[in-house]
Amino acid sequence: MKIAVAQINPTIGDLVNNAKKILAVANNAAKKGVRLLLTPELSLCGYPPRDLLLYPGFVESMQQQLEAIAQQLPKGMAALVGTVEANPSATSKGQKPLFNSMALLDEGKVQHIFHKRLLPSYDVFDEDRYFQSGYETNYFALSHQNAVASDLDDSFSEESSLKIGVTICEDLWNDEQFWGKRNYEVNPIEDLAYLGVDVVVNLSASPYSVGKQKLREAILHHAATKYKLPIIYVNQVGANDDLIFDGNSVVFNRQGEIVSHAKGFESDLVIVEFDPIQQNLSALTPINKQGVILDENEEIFAALVLGVKDYAHKCNFSQVILGLSGGIDSSLVAAIATEAMGADRVLGVLMPSPYSSDHSITDAVALAKNLGIRYEQFPIQEAMSAYDQILAPLFTGTEFGIAEENIQSRIRGNLLMAIANKFGYLLLSTGNKSEMAVGYCTLYGDMNGGLAVIADVPKTRVYSLCRWLNRHQEIIPNHAINKPPSAELKPGQLDQDSLPPYEILDDILDRLICQHQSEPEIIQSGHHSEVVHQVIKLVARAEFKRRQAPPGLKITDRAFGTGWRMPIASRWLVN
Protein backbone atom coordinates (compact mmCIF):
# COMPACT_ATOMS: atom_id res chain seq x y z
CA MET A 1 0.00 0.00 0.00
CA LYS A 2 1.38 3.38 -1.05
CA ILE A 3 1.23 6.32 1.31
CA ALA A 4 2.07 9.90 0.35
CA VAL A 5 3.50 12.66 2.52
CA ALA A 6 2.09 15.97 1.31
CA GLN A 7 4.48 18.56 2.72
CA ILE A 8 2.42 21.63 1.85
CA ASN A 9 2.74 25.36 2.54
CA PRO A 10 -0.70 26.64 3.56
CA THR A 11 -1.56 30.32 4.05
CA ILE A 12 -3.28 30.91 7.38
CA GLY A 13 -7.04 31.17 6.92
CA ASP A 14 -6.96 30.82 3.13
CA LEU A 15 -9.25 27.82 3.32
CA VAL A 16 -10.26 27.68 -0.35
CA ASN A 17 -6.72 27.83 -1.68
CA ASN A 18 -5.34 25.51 1.00
CA ALA A 19 -8.01 22.99 -0.02
CA LYS A 20 -6.96 23.44 -3.66
CA LYS A 21 -3.33 22.79 -2.66
CA ILE A 22 -4.29 19.57 -0.90
CA LEU A 23 -6.32 18.41 -3.90
CA ALA A 24 -3.53 19.30 -6.35
CA VAL A 25 -1.05 17.15 -4.39
CA ALA A 26 -3.66 14.40 -4.11
CA ASN A 27 -4.08 14.36 -7.89
CA ASN A 28 -0.32 14.15 -8.33
CA ALA A 29 -0.07 11.33 -5.83
CA ALA A 30 -2.97 9.49 -7.49
CA LYS A 31 -0.88 9.10 -10.65
CA LYS A 32 1.53 6.99 -8.60
CA GLY A 33 -1.21 4.78 -7.18
CA VAL A 34 -1.25 6.27 -3.68
CA ARG A 35 -3.95 4.92 -1.37
CA LEU A 36 -3.50 7.31 1.56
CA LEU A 37 -2.48 10.98 1.52
CA LEU A 38 -1.09 12.52 4.71
CA THR A 39 -1.15 16.27 5.31
CA PRO A 40 0.29 18.34 8.19
CA GLU A 41 -1.47 19.41 11.38
CA LEU A 42 -4.29 21.93 10.72
CA SER A 43 -3.41 21.73 7.02
CA LEU A 44 -6.77 23.18 5.99
CA CYS A 45 -6.37 26.48 7.87
CA GLY A 46 -2.57 26.54 8.30
CA TYR A 47 -0.74 26.59 11.64
CA PRO A 48 -1.09 28.59 13.84
CA PRO A 49 -4.53 30.07 13.11
CA ARG A 50 -4.53 31.85 16.51
CA ASP A 51 -7.68 33.86 17.27
CA LEU A 52 -9.29 33.21 13.88
CA LEU A 53 -10.45 30.12 15.76
CA LEU A 54 -12.70 32.32 17.92
CA TYR A 55 -14.96 33.04 14.92
CA PRO A 56 -17.69 30.39 14.64
CA GLY A 57 -17.97 31.21 10.92
CA PHE A 58 -14.32 30.24 10.44
CA VAL A 59 -14.94 26.84 11.98
CA GLU A 60 -18.08 26.35 9.85
CA SER A 61 -16.20 27.25 6.65
CA MET A 62 -13.56 24.67 7.52
CA GLN A 63 -16.28 22.06 7.82
CA GLN A 64 -17.58 22.98 4.36
CA GLN A 65 -14.14 22.91 2.76
CA LEU A 66 -13.40 19.59 4.39
CA GLU A 67 -16.49 18.03 2.87
CA ALA A 68 -15.62 19.54 -0.51
CA ILE A 69 -12.15 17.96 -0.34
CA ALA A 70 -13.65 14.59 0.60
CA GLN A 71 -15.89 14.73 -2.47
CA GLN A 72 -13.12 15.78 -4.84
CA LEU A 73 -10.33 13.44 -3.77
CA PRO A 74 -9.20 11.16 -6.58
CA LYS A 75 -11.13 7.89 -6.70
CA GLY A 76 -9.65 5.26 -4.42
CA MET A 77 -7.64 7.72 -2.32
CA ALA A 78 -8.15 8.35 1.38
CA ALA A 79 -6.65 11.37 3.12
CA LEU A 80 -5.91 12.69 6.59
CA VAL A 81 -6.57 16.43 6.60
CA GLY A 82 -5.86 18.73 9.54
CA THR A 83 -8.91 20.62 10.74
CA VAL A 84 -10.80 21.60 13.91
CA GLU A 85 -13.99 20.22 15.35
CA ALA A 86 -16.40 21.87 17.77
CA ASN A 87 -16.42 20.36 21.26
CA PRO A 88 -20.08 19.58 22.10
CA SER A 89 -19.35 19.65 25.85
CA ALA A 90 -17.69 23.04 25.72
CA THR A 91 -20.38 25.24 27.26
CA SER A 92 -21.89 22.82 29.73
CA LYS A 93 -18.68 21.63 31.35
CA GLY A 94 -16.53 24.71 31.01
CA GLN A 95 -14.35 22.92 28.51
CA LYS A 96 -12.49 24.51 25.60
CA PRO A 97 -14.58 25.14 22.47
CA LEU A 98 -12.66 23.10 19.90
CA PHE A 99 -10.59 20.02 19.21
CA ASN A 100 -7.40 20.19 17.13
CA SER A 101 -8.29 17.40 14.74
CA MET A 102 -7.41 15.14 11.84
CA ALA A 103 -10.22 14.19 9.51
CA LEU A 104 -10.10 10.84 7.77
CA LEU A 105 -11.62 11.29 4.32
CA ASP A 106 -12.51 8.32 2.15
CA GLU A 107 -15.14 7.36 -0.40
CA GLY A 108 -16.36 10.94 -0.77
CA LYS A 109 -17.05 11.47 2.92
CA VAL A 110 -15.58 12.48 6.24
CA GLN A 111 -15.29 9.02 7.80
CA HIS A 112 -13.92 9.95 11.18
CA ILE A 113 -12.39 12.81 13.16
CA PHE A 114 -9.41 12.18 15.44
CA HIS A 115 -8.53 14.60 18.24
CA LYS A 116 -5.04 15.72 19.25
CA ARG A 117 -4.31 14.47 22.77
CA LEU A 118 -1.33 16.46 23.97
CA LEU A 119 -1.67 20.21 23.57
CA PRO A 120 1.48 22.35 23.75
CA SER A 121 1.06 25.62 25.63
CA TYR A 122 4.65 26.72 26.09
CA ASP A 123 6.96 29.03 24.12
CA VAL A 124 5.10 30.05 20.93
CA PHE A 125 2.31 27.52 21.41
CA ASP A 126 -1.01 28.43 22.94
CA GLU A 127 -3.25 25.48 22.25
CA ASP A 128 -4.93 25.43 25.67
CA ARG A 129 -6.49 28.75 24.74
CA TYR A 130 -8.69 27.07 22.11
CA PHE A 131 -8.54 23.32 22.32
CA GLN A 132 -9.68 20.49 24.54
CA SER A 133 -7.41 17.44 24.72
CA GLY A 134 -8.72 14.39 22.91
CA TYR A 135 -9.54 11.41 25.14
CA GLU A 136 -9.24 8.52 22.72
CA THR A 137 -6.42 6.56 21.19
CA ASN A 138 -6.56 7.41 17.50
CA TYR A 139 -6.32 4.66 14.91
CA PHE A 140 -8.06 3.19 11.88
CA ALA A 141 -7.80 0.31 9.49
CA LEU A 142 -7.29 1.00 5.83
CA SER A 143 -8.01 -1.69 3.28
CA HIS A 144 -7.46 -1.31 -0.42
CA GLN A 145 -11.17 -0.52 -0.68
CA ASN A 146 -12.17 1.52 2.35
CA ALA A 147 -11.18 3.00 5.68
CA VAL A 148 -12.75 1.97 8.97
CA ALA A 149 -12.06 4.00 12.06
CA SER A 150 -12.63 3.45 15.78
CA ASP A 151 -13.82 0.28 17.45
CA LEU A 152 -11.65 -1.60 15.02
CA ASP A 153 -11.64 -5.07 16.48
CA ASP A 154 -13.22 -6.65 13.39
CA SER A 155 -11.25 -4.78 10.81
CA PHE A 156 -8.04 -5.32 12.77
CA SER A 157 -8.43 -9.01 12.22
CA GLU A 158 -8.60 -8.52 8.45
CA GLU A 159 -5.26 -9.54 6.98
CA SER A 160 -5.43 -7.19 4.04
CA SER A 161 -5.98 -3.96 5.93
CA LEU A 162 -3.27 -1.72 7.32
CA LYS A 163 -3.72 -0.60 10.90
CA ILE A 164 -2.67 3.01 11.20
CA GLY A 165 -2.14 4.92 14.44
CA VAL A 166 -2.73 8.66 14.21
CA THR A 167 -0.81 11.20 16.29
CA ILE A 168 -0.76 14.96 15.93
CA CYS A 169 2.54 16.79 16.52
CA GLU A 170 2.93 17.14 20.32
CA ASP A 171 1.39 13.66 20.77
CA LEU A 172 4.87 12.38 19.95
CA TRP A 173 6.72 14.57 22.45
CA ASN A 174 6.17 12.65 25.67
CA ASP A 175 8.43 9.69 26.18
CA GLU A 176 9.63 9.37 29.75
CA GLN A 177 12.73 7.45 28.73
CA PHE A 178 13.67 10.01 26.08
CA TRP A 179 13.09 13.15 28.15
CA GLY A 180 13.99 11.70 31.53
CA LYS A 181 10.62 12.91 32.80
CA ARG A 182 6.96 12.74 31.94
CA ASN A 183 5.75 15.84 30.14
CA TYR A 184 2.09 14.71 30.18
CA GLU A 185 0.00 11.98 31.83
CA VAL A 186 -0.60 9.97 28.67
CA ASN A 187 1.73 8.69 25.97
CA PRO A 188 -0.27 8.32 22.74
CA ILE A 189 2.44 6.34 20.92
CA GLU A 190 2.64 3.82 23.74
CA ASP A 191 -1.15 3.39 23.61
CA LEU A 192 -0.96 2.74 19.87
CA ALA A 193 1.89 0.26 20.22
CA TYR A 194 -0.13 -1.58 22.86
CA LEU A 195 -3.07 -1.81 20.43
CA GLY A 196 -0.84 -3.38 17.80
CA VAL A 197 -0.98 -0.88 14.96
CA ASP A 198 1.23 -1.50 11.90
CA VAL A 199 2.31 2.08 11.31
CA VAL A 200 2.16 5.36 13.22
CA VAL A 201 1.70 8.65 11.44
CA ASN A 202 2.60 11.94 13.11
CA LEU A 203 1.04 14.97 11.44
CA SER A 204 2.87 18.06 12.59
CA ALA A 205 3.28 21.79 12.42
CA SER A 206 6.65 22.06 14.09
CA PRO A 207 8.40 25.42 13.77
CA TYR A 208 12.08 25.68 12.92
CA SER A 209 14.85 26.46 15.32
CA VAL A 210 18.55 25.73 14.99
CA GLY A 211 19.16 22.03 15.63
CA LYS A 212 15.43 21.16 15.87
CA GLN A 213 15.52 18.56 13.08
CA LYS A 214 18.21 16.60 14.93
CA LEU A 215 15.97 16.57 17.99
CA ARG A 216 12.92 15.51 15.98
CA GLU A 217 14.86 12.68 14.34
CA ALA A 218 16.18 11.52 17.71
CA ILE A 219 12.61 11.42 19.10
CA LEU A 220 11.36 9.54 16.03
CA HIS A 221 14.28 7.09 16.08
CA HIS A 222 13.69 6.43 19.76
CA ALA A 223 9.97 5.76 19.27
CA ALA A 224 10.48 3.59 16.16
CA THR A 225 13.07 1.36 17.83
CA LYS A 226 11.41 1.24 21.24
CA TYR A 227 8.07 0.06 19.83
CA LYS A 228 9.45 -1.55 16.66
CA LEU A 229 7.02 0.55 14.65
CA PRO A 230 7.48 2.37 11.38
CA ILE A 231 6.68 6.09 11.74
CA ILE A 232 5.75 8.61 9.08
CA TYR A 233 6.41 12.18 10.20
CA VAL A 234 4.74 14.91 8.12
CA ASN A 235 5.64 18.52 8.82
CA GLN A 236 4.20 21.78 7.53
CA VAL A 237 6.50 23.93 5.43
CA GLY A 238 6.45 27.71 4.94
CA ALA A 239 6.61 30.78 7.13
CA ASN A 240 3.67 32.32 8.94
CA ASP A 241 4.54 35.68 10.52
CA ASP A 242 7.39 35.04 12.97
CA LEU A 243 7.35 31.25 12.66
CA ILE A 244 9.25 29.38 9.97
CA PHE A 245 8.22 25.79 9.30
CA ASP A 246 11.05 23.89 7.70
CA GLY A 247 9.26 20.80 6.38
CA ASN A 248 11.94 18.11 6.61
CA SER A 249 9.23 15.44 6.82
CA VAL A 250 10.87 12.09 7.40
CA VAL A 251 9.95 8.42 7.35
CA PHE A 252 11.47 5.82 9.69
CA ASN A 253 11.21 2.06 9.27
CA ARG A 254 10.70 -0.24 12.25
CA GLN A 255 14.46 -0.61 12.67
CA GLY A 256 14.64 3.14 13.25
CA GLU A 257 16.35 3.85 9.93
CA ILE A 258 15.40 6.79 7.76
CA VAL A 259 13.90 5.45 4.53
CA SER A 260 12.72 8.73 3.06
CA HIS A 261 13.29 12.41 3.70
CA ALA A 262 11.42 15.36 2.20
CA LYS A 263 13.13 18.64 1.30
CA GLY A 264 13.89 21.28 3.88
CA PHE A 265 12.26 24.71 3.44
CA GLU A 266 10.28 23.72 0.30
CA SER A 267 6.99 22.03 -0.50
CA ASP A 268 7.47 18.39 -1.38
CA LEU A 269 5.74 15.10 -2.03
CA VAL A 270 7.27 11.86 -0.80
CA ILE A 271 5.80 8.42 -1.36
CA VAL A 272 6.47 5.31 0.71
CA GLU A 273 5.14 1.77 0.51
CA PHE A 274 4.09 -0.56 3.29
CA ASP A 275 5.07 -4.18 2.75
CA PRO A 276 2.65 -6.42 4.70
CA ILE A 277 5.07 -9.38 4.69
CA GLN A 278 8.04 -7.45 6.06
CA GLN A 279 5.62 -5.34 8.14
CA ASN A 280 7.75 -2.41 7.17
CA LEU A 281 7.94 0.78 5.17
CA SER A 282 10.24 1.41 2.25
CA ALA A 283 10.69 4.42 0.01
CA LEU A 284 9.52 4.78 -3.55
CA THR A 285 11.45 8.00 -3.94
CA PRO A 286 15.13 7.99 -2.97
CA ILE A 287 16.24 9.85 0.14
CA ASN A 288 16.31 13.48 -0.83
CA LYS A 289 19.71 14.89 0.04
CA GLN A 290 18.25 18.39 -0.11
CA GLY A 291 16.44 17.48 3.05
CA VAL A 292 19.64 16.76 4.91
CA ILE A 293 21.23 20.09 5.70
CA LEU A 294 24.34 19.78 7.79
CA ASP A 295 25.79 23.26 8.03
CA GLU A 296 24.01 25.44 10.61
CA ASN A 297 24.70 28.64 8.69
CA GLU A 298 23.27 27.17 5.50
CA GLU A 299 20.21 26.05 7.44
CA ILE A 300 19.65 29.43 9.13
CA PHE A 301 20.10 31.28 5.84
CA ALA A 302 17.54 29.01 4.14
CA ALA A 303 15.12 29.57 7.04
CA LEU A 304 15.43 33.36 6.90
CA VAL A 305 15.05 33.38 3.12
CA LEU A 306 11.83 31.40 3.44
CA GLY A 307 10.72 33.73 6.25
CA VAL A 308 11.10 36.84 4.07
CA LYS A 309 9.72 35.20 0.95
CA ASP A 310 6.55 33.92 2.60
CA TYR A 311 5.91 37.03 4.69
CA ALA A 312 6.14 39.20 1.55
CA HIS A 313 4.12 36.81 -0.58
CA LYS A 314 1.41 36.11 2.01
CA CYS A 315 1.05 39.86 2.77
CA ASN A 316 0.98 40.70 -0.98
CA PHE A 317 4.28 42.56 -1.28
CA SER A 318 6.34 42.11 -4.42
CA GLN A 319 9.22 44.45 -3.49
CA VAL A 320 11.22 45.20 -0.37
CA ILE A 321 13.30 48.18 0.75
CA LEU A 322 16.00 48.61 3.38
CA GLY A 323 18.61 51.13 4.51
CA LEU A 324 22.17 50.19 3.55
CA SER A 325 24.77 51.53 5.99
CA GLY A 326 27.76 49.56 4.72
CA GLY A 327 27.63 47.56 7.99
CA ILE A 328 27.14 43.82 8.22
CA ASP A 329 23.60 43.77 9.61
CA SER A 330 22.02 45.60 6.69
CA SER A 331 24.37 43.76 4.30
CA LEU A 332 23.22 40.38 5.58
CA VAL A 333 19.55 41.39 5.41
CA ALA A 334 20.07 42.62 1.83
CA ALA A 335 21.62 39.25 0.89
CA ILE A 336 18.71 37.35 2.47
CA ALA A 337 16.18 39.63 0.74
CA THR A 338 17.89 39.20 -2.61
CA GLU A 339 17.75 35.41 -2.34
CA ALA A 340 14.11 35.58 -1.21
CA MET A 341 12.71 38.14 -3.64
CA GLY A 342 15.14 38.26 -6.59
CA ALA A 343 17.68 41.09 -7.09
CA ASP A 344 15.27 43.24 -9.11
CA ARG A 345 12.80 43.38 -6.22
CA VAL A 346 15.14 44.80 -3.58
CA LEU A 347 15.86 48.51 -3.16
CA GLY A 348 18.77 49.60 -0.95
CA VAL A 349 18.85 53.20 0.26
CA LEU A 350 22.10 54.91 1.32
CA MET A 351 21.54 57.88 3.64
CA PRO A 352 24.89 59.30 4.71
CA SER A 353 25.10 61.96 7.42
CA PRO A 354 28.10 64.17 8.18
CA TYR A 355 29.18 61.50 10.70
CA SER A 356 29.13 58.69 8.16
CA SER A 357 32.49 57.27 7.20
CA ASP A 358 33.50 57.11 3.54
CA HIS A 359 33.47 53.34 3.77
CA SER A 360 29.81 53.37 4.80
CA ILE A 361 29.11 54.45 1.21
CA THR A 362 31.82 52.44 -0.57
CA ASP A 363 30.94 49.25 1.32
CA ALA A 364 27.19 49.72 0.71
CA VAL A 365 27.75 50.35 -3.01
CA ALA A 366 30.06 47.33 -3.27
CA LEU A 367 27.41 45.18 -1.59
CA ALA A 368 24.63 46.46 -3.88
CA LYS A 369 26.81 45.71 -6.92
CA ASN A 370 27.74 42.24 -5.65
CA LEU A 371 24.05 41.45 -5.17
CA GLY A 372 22.93 43.23 -8.34
CA ILE A 373 20.25 45.21 -6.47
CA ARG A 374 19.04 48.75 -7.21
CA TYR A 375 20.25 51.47 -4.85
CA GLU A 376 19.54 55.16 -4.25
CA GLN A 377 21.45 57.71 -2.22
CA PHE A 378 19.85 60.47 -0.13
CA PRO A 379 22.20 62.47 2.11
CA ILE A 380 20.36 63.52 5.27
CA GLN A 381 22.34 66.61 6.32
CA GLU A 382 19.62 69.05 5.21
CA ALA A 383 16.95 67.19 7.11
CA MET A 384 19.21 67.17 10.21
CA SER A 385 19.66 70.96 9.95
CA ALA A 386 15.91 71.42 9.56
CA TYR A 387 15.32 69.39 12.73
CA ASP A 388 17.97 71.43 14.57
CA GLN A 389 16.30 74.67 13.54
CA ILE A 390 12.82 73.54 14.46
CA LEU A 391 13.94 72.21 17.83
CA ALA A 392 16.29 75.12 18.61
CA PRO A 393 13.78 77.08 20.74
CA LEU A 394 13.63 74.09 23.07
CA PHE A 395 17.09 72.53 22.69
CA THR A 396 19.37 75.61 22.66
CA GLY A 397 21.58 75.69 25.73
CA THR A 398 21.31 71.95 26.30
CA GLU A 399 24.15 69.52 25.70
CA PHE A 400 24.31 67.57 22.42
CA GLY A 401 23.41 63.99 23.38
CA ILE A 402 21.66 60.77 22.48
CA ALA A 403 18.42 62.50 21.48
CA GLU A 404 20.27 64.54 18.82
CA GLU A 405 22.21 61.46 17.69
CA ASN A 406 19.00 59.48 17.32
CA ILE A 407 17.48 62.13 15.05
CA GLN A 408 19.64 60.71 12.25
CA SER A 409 18.19 57.28 12.79
CA ARG A 410 14.67 58.75 12.94
CA ILE A 411 15.16 60.72 9.71
CA ARG A 412 16.34 57.54 7.98
CA GLY A 413 13.43 55.53 9.36
CA ASN A 414 11.00 58.18 8.15
CA LEU A 415 12.48 58.40 4.66
CA LEU A 416 12.41 54.63 4.31
CA MET A 417 8.76 54.46 5.37
CA ALA A 418 7.91 57.32 2.99
CA ILE A 419 9.42 55.42 0.05
CA ALA A 420 7.85 52.13 1.17
CA ASN A 421 4.50 53.87 1.48
CA LYS A 422 4.76 55.62 -1.89
CA PHE A 423 5.58 52.51 -3.90
CA GLY A 424 3.92 49.81 -1.81
CA TYR A 425 7.18 48.20 -0.69
CA LEU A 426 7.78 46.21 2.48
CA LEU A 427 10.39 47.86 4.74
CA LEU A 428 12.78 45.33 6.26
CA SER A 429 14.36 46.32 9.56
CA THR A 430 17.90 45.18 10.22
CA GLY A 431 18.42 45.00 14.01
CA ASN A 432 20.03 41.81 15.30
CA LYS A 433 19.09 39.90 18.48
CA SER A 434 21.97 41.28 20.55
CA GLU A 435 20.88 44.86 19.83
CA MET A 436 17.21 44.10 20.36
CA ALA A 437 18.10 42.51 23.68
CA VAL A 438 19.95 45.51 25.10
CA GLY A 439 17.94 48.22 23.33
CA TYR A 440 20.84 49.35 21.17
CA CYS A 441 18.45 50.61 18.50
CA THR A 442 16.26 53.66 18.05
CA LEU A 443 12.50 53.43 18.47
CA TYR A 444 10.76 55.03 15.43
CA GLY A 445 14.19 55.13 13.80
CA ASP A 446 16.10 52.06 12.65
CA MET A 447 13.42 49.95 14.36
CA ASN A 448 10.93 51.07 11.70
CA GLY A 449 9.80 48.29 9.45
CA GLY A 450 7.26 45.62 8.66
CA LEU A 451 9.48 42.59 9.26
CA ALA A 452 12.57 42.29 11.46
CA VAL A 453 14.57 39.78 9.46
CA ILE A 454 17.50 39.08 11.82
CA ALA A 455 15.87 40.05 15.13
CA ASP A 456 16.54 36.52 16.47
CA VAL A 457 20.10 36.28 15.07
CA PRO A 458 22.77 37.15 17.67
CA LYS A 459 25.54 39.43 16.38
CA THR A 460 28.16 36.66 16.63
CA ARG A 461 25.95 34.55 14.35
CA VAL A 462 25.58 37.53 11.97
CA TYR A 463 29.36 37.36 11.54
CA SER A 464 29.42 33.63 10.92
CA LEU A 465 26.55 33.89 8.42
CA CYS A 466 28.41 36.62 6.51
CA ARG A 467 31.61 34.55 6.43
CA TRP A 468 29.62 31.53 5.25
CA LEU A 469 27.98 33.63 2.51
CA ASN A 470 31.43 34.61 1.30
CA ARG A 471 32.72 31.01 1.18
CA HIS A 472 32.94 30.93 -2.63
CA GLN A 473 33.18 34.60 -3.55
CA GLU A 474 32.92 37.97 -1.84
CA ILE A 475 29.25 38.91 -1.46
CA ILE A 476 29.38 40.85 1.80
CA PRO A 477 32.38 43.20 1.31
CA ASN A 478 35.20 41.84 3.47
CA HIS A 479 35.86 45.35 4.70
CA ALA A 480 32.32 45.44 6.16
CA ILE A 481 33.02 42.20 8.04
CA ASN A 482 36.40 43.25 9.36
CA LYS A 483 35.69 46.83 10.49
CA PRO A 484 34.62 47.42 14.09
CA PRO A 485 30.80 47.74 14.32
CA SER A 486 29.52 51.31 14.69
CA ALA A 487 26.16 53.08 14.69
CA GLU A 488 27.98 56.15 13.25
CA LEU A 489 25.66 58.53 15.08
CA LYS A 490 28.54 60.68 16.35
CA PRO A 491 32.19 61.03 15.32
CA GLY A 492 34.32 57.98 16.10
CA GLN A 493 31.45 56.10 17.79
CA LEU A 494 31.92 52.33 18.19
CA ASP A 495 29.41 49.75 19.50
CA GLN A 496 32.08 48.56 21.88
CA ASP A 497 32.15 51.96 23.65
CA SER A 498 28.65 51.22 25.01
CA LEU A 499 28.50 47.43 24.99
CA PRO A 500 30.78 44.54 26.03
CA PRO A 501 32.48 42.66 23.17
CA TYR A 502 29.83 40.71 21.26
CA GLU A 503 31.30 37.26 22.19
CA ILE A 504 30.80 38.15 25.85
CA LEU A 505 27.48 39.92 25.36
CA ASP A 506 26.01 37.03 23.35
CA ASP A 507 27.04 34.44 25.91
CA ILE A 508 25.47 36.43 28.74
CA LEU A 509 22.33 36.98 26.67
CA ASP A 510 22.03 33.30 25.80
CA ARG A 511 22.29 32.34 29.47
CA LEU A 512 19.75 34.98 30.48
CA ILE A 513 17.23 34.66 27.64
CA CYS A 514 17.41 31.04 26.50
CA GLN A 515 18.64 29.25 29.63
CA HIS A 516 16.85 31.45 32.20
CA GLN A 517 19.96 31.71 34.37
CA SER A 518 20.02 34.13 37.32
CA GLU A 519 22.56 36.93 37.76
CA PRO A 520 24.69 34.87 40.23
CA GLU A 521 24.60 31.85 37.90
CA ILE A 522 25.82 33.91 34.96
CA ILE A 523 28.57 35.46 37.10
CA GLN A 524 29.55 31.99 38.30
CA SER A 525 30.01 30.88 34.68
CA GLY A 526 32.98 33.26 34.54
CA HIS A 527 31.59 36.65 33.52
CA HIS A 528 32.49 39.88 35.27
CA SER A 529 29.80 40.83 37.81
CA GLU A 530 29.51 44.47 36.73
CA VAL A 531 29.16 43.50 33.08
CA VAL A 532 26.49 40.91 33.88
CA HIS A 533 24.58 43.40 36.00
CA GLN A 534 24.75 46.08 33.31
CA VAL A 535 23.56 43.68 30.58
CA ILE A 536 20.63 42.41 32.64
CA LYS A 537 19.63 45.97 33.39
CA LEU A 538 19.74 46.90 29.71
CA VAL A 539 17.67 43.85 28.74
CA ALA A 540 14.99 44.62 31.32
CA ARG A 541 14.84 48.29 30.37
CA ALA A 542 14.52 47.62 26.65
CA GLU A 543 11.29 45.64 26.97
CA PHE A 544 9.25 48.70 25.94
CA LYS A 545 11.15 48.84 22.65
CA ARG A 546 10.74 45.16 21.88
CA ARG A 547 6.99 45.39 22.49
CA GLN A 548 6.82 47.91 19.64
CA ALA A 549 9.22 46.16 17.30
CA PRO A 550 8.09 44.57 14.02
CA PRO A 551 7.57 40.79 14.09
CA GLY A 552 10.94 39.04 13.93
CA LEU A 553 11.73 35.69 12.30
CA LYS A 554 12.35 33.03 14.95
CA ILE A 555 15.41 30.82 14.60
CA THR A 556 16.37 30.05 18.22
CA ASP A 557 14.59 28.21 21.00
CA ARG A 558 13.65 31.52 22.59
CA ALA A 559 12.96 34.51 20.42
CA PHE A 560 11.58 37.95 21.30
CA GLY A 561 8.23 37.26 19.71
CA THR A 562 5.07 35.34 20.46
CA GLY A 563 6.95 33.08 22.89
CA TRP A 564 8.41 35.97 24.92
CA ARG A 565 5.84 37.44 27.25
CA MET A 566 7.61 39.83 29.55
CA PRO A 567 6.06 42.66 31.53
CA ILE A 568 7.30 46.15 30.71
CA ALA A 569 6.67 48.03 33.95
CA SER A 570 8.26 45.52 36.29
CA ARG A 571 10.99 44.91 38.87
CA TRP A 572 12.45 41.47 39.13
CA LEU A 573 15.37 41.04 36.78
CA VAL A 574 16.78 44.30 38.19
CA ASN A 575 15.56 46.83 40.73
Ligand X SMILES: Nc1ncnc2c1ncn2[C@@H]1O[C@H](COP(=O)(O)OP(=O)(O)OP(=O)(O)O)[C@@H](O)[C@H]1O
Q: Which residues are catalytic?
A: 41, 116, 169
Comparison of 4 and 350: residue with beta carbon closer to ligand X: 350
* 442-458 as b/e: b if 16+ CB within 10 A: bbebbbbbbbbbbbbbb
The three-class DSSP label of residue 148 is strand
Give, as one character, the DSSP assignment of residue 129: G
Q: Is 106 annotated as a binding residue?
A: no
Comparison of 329 and 519: residue with beta carbon closer to ligand X: 329
List of long-range contacts for 487-490, beta carbons under 8 Å, 24+ apart: 487/405, 487/409, 487/440, 488/325, 488/353, 488/355, 488/356, 488/357, 488/360, 489/355, 489/405, 489/406, 489/408, 489/409, 490/355, 490/405
Q: Is 426 annotated as a binding residue?
A: no
Q: Which of ligand X, ligand DND, ligand GLN, none does residue 74 bind (CB under 5 to 8 Å by kind)?
A: none
Among 48, 238, 477, 485, binds ligand X (CB under 6 A): 485
66 near ligand X, rule: CB under 6 A? no
Which range, of 258-266, 309-317, 344-352, 498-506, touches ligand X by CB under 6 A? 344-352
120 near ligand GLN, rule: CB under 6 A? yes
458 near ligand X, rule: CB under 6 A? no
Query: Dmax of the chain from CA atoms?
Result: 91
Q: Least distance from C-beta 105 to ligand GLN, angstroms? A: 21
351 near ligand DND, rule: CB under 6 A? no
Give, as one character, the DSSP assignment of residue 511: I
Restricted to residues 480-499, the positions that interact with ligand DND (CB under 6 A) are 487, 489, 495, 498
DSSP-assigned letters across all residues of 404-424:
HHHHHHHHHHHHHHHHHHHHT
Give, as one character, the DSSP assignment of residue 205: -
- Using a 10 angstrom Cβ sphere, with 0-12 exposed, 13-18 middle and 19 or more buried, the burial of residue 51 is exposed
99 near ligand GLN, rule: CB under 6 A? no
Q: Which of ligand GLN, ligand DND, ligand X, none does residue 170 bind (CB under 5 to 8 Å by kind)?
A: ligand GLN
Among 8, 37, 39, 41, binds ligand GLN (CB under 6 A): 41
How many whole angstroms separate alpha carbon 572 and alpha carbon 567? 10
- Using a 10 angstrom Cβ sphere, with 0-12 exposed, 13-18 middle and 19 or more buried, the burial of residue 215 is middle
Q: Least distance from C-beta 493 to ligand DND, angstroms? A: 7
555 near ligand GLN, rule: CB under 6 A? no
Partnered with residue 147 across adjacent β-strands are 142
25 near ligand DND, rule: CB under 6 A? no
Among residues 91, 110, 168, the alpha carbon closest in space to that of 136 is found at 168
DSSP-assigned letters across all residues of 343-383:
GGGEEEEE---TT--HHHHHHHHHHHHHHT-EEEE---HHH
Is residue 326 within 8 Å of 364, Cβ to Cβ? yes
Among 37, 118, 350, 457, binds ligand X (CB under 6 A): 350
Q: Is 137 annotated as a binding residue?
A: no
Partnered with residue 283 across adjacent β-strands are 272
Among 1, 25, 87, 170, binds ligand GLN (CB under 6 A): 170
Q: Is 324 annotated as a binding residue?
A: yes
477 near ligand X, rule: CB under 6 A? no
Q: Is 122 annotated as a binding residue?
A: yes
Query: Under the rule (CB under 6 A), what is the footprint of ligand X?
Result: 322-325, 327-330, 349-352, 356, 360, 412, 430, 435, 446, 485, 487-488
Task: Tell me the binding residues for L-glutamine.
Answer: 122, 206, 212
Query: Under the rule (CB under 6 A), what is the footprint of ligand GLN?
Result: 41, 120, 125, 169-170, 173, 204-207
Query: Under the rule (CB under 6 A), what is the footprint of ligand DND?
Result: 402, 405-406, 409, 435, 439-443, 445-446, 487, 489, 495, 498, 544, 568
